Homo-oligomer: A and B are copies of this chain.
């Protein structure tokens, strides 16, 4: 784990880092309270498709979890996203997605499966690395990721027992493997569903909620499209994490 930057703002220290996983450079950010020492709950945040580790929503939620609850928060660029591609490569990938026929092809599913396998290895390596930091340690771990953050998050959670609570959503059942992974997840969940989601079909989203084996799983449905999760949901996520992962020791 190589640290590349450090800046402190309003009590939150943000450190850039790089990991090498399977010979590929994985850039990440870890946020923690200024001067933090000792173990504290950790939140992993997975960004959406065409976004990156420091997308506005992630930045706001990360800072809130640090300021309000003393957590550490980590985000990494997903394969083919953020600082792992040039601006031109990113533009080209977005163009390709826009130009693609609607619906999912067998080829697209294979690409997603390959991306997910890579992303899971990278999240596991990230978790290993940050748990070795004295201001993180092996305290409880949560995950937050909607849309692509759920496409990656579901197989990740199925494969990673260290994560004890998660916020997922804006995604539906799309393959048998994905549904099987969902059925193996039994940690407490909040599942976000946008009632007029133009990306994740409503029936597939309800089917994904249905599939989780968790005893505690709340689905929060709100009107509007894929990008329209209301701001007031954030405080409910915060309360959810604190209920399950505990507060940081002061």
Q: Which residues on A are within 8 Å of B, measured CB to CB?
A: 195, 209-210, 215-223, 230, 232-233, 235-236, 239, 243
16 A–B contacts, CB within 8 A, in A order: A195-B210, A195-B219, A209-B221, A215-B223, A216-B230, A217-B222, A218-B230, A218-B233, A219-B220, A219-B222, A220-B220, A220-B221, A221-B221, A232-B239, A235-B239, A236-B236
* Chain B residues in 8 Å Cβ range of A216: 222, 230
Considering the chains assembled together, what is the distance between the CA atoms of A209 and B206 in angstroms?
A: 15
Partner of A218, one of B209, B210, B222: B222
In the complex formed, the residue of B with least CB distance to A212 is B223
In the complex formed, the residue of B with least CB distance to A243 is B232
Considering the chains assembled together, what is the distance between the CA atoms of A232 and B216 in angstroms?
A: 10
- Closest 6 A-B residue pairs measured CB to CB? A219-B221, A218-B222, A236-B236, A218-B220, A220-B220, A217-B223
Whole-angstrom distance between the Cβ of A170 and the nearest chain B Cβ? 15
In the complex formed, the residue of B with least CB distance to A240 is B232
* Chain B residues in 8 Å Cβ range of A235: 239
* Chain B residues in 8 Å Cβ range of A239: 232, 235-236
* Chain B residues in 8 Å Cβ range of A230: 216, 218
* Chain B residues in 8 Å Cβ range of A209: 195, 221
In the complex formed, the residue of B with least CB distance to A219 is B221
What 12 new A-B contacts, CB under 8 Å, besides A195-B209, A219-B222? A195-B219, A209-B221, A216-B222, A216-B230, A217-B222, A218-B230, A219-B221, A220-B220, A232-B239, A232-B243, A235-B239, A236-B236
In the complex formed, the residue of B with least CB distance to A215 is B223
Considering the chains assembled together, what is the distance between the CA atoms of A34 and B195 in angstroms?
A: 43
Considering the chains assembled together, what is the distance between the CA atoms of A223 and B235 in angstroms?
A: 22
Considering the chains assembled together, what is the distance between the CA atoms of A209 and B202 in angstroms?
A: 14
* Chain B residues in 8 Å Cβ range of A220: 218-221
Considering the chains assembled together, what is the distance between the CA atoms of A220 and B218 in angstroms?
A: 6
Residue in A195, A217, A218, A235 whose Cβ sees the most chain B Cβ within 10 Å = A218
In the complex formed, the residue of B with least CB distance to A202 is B206
In the complex formed, the residue of B with least CB distance to A190 is B220
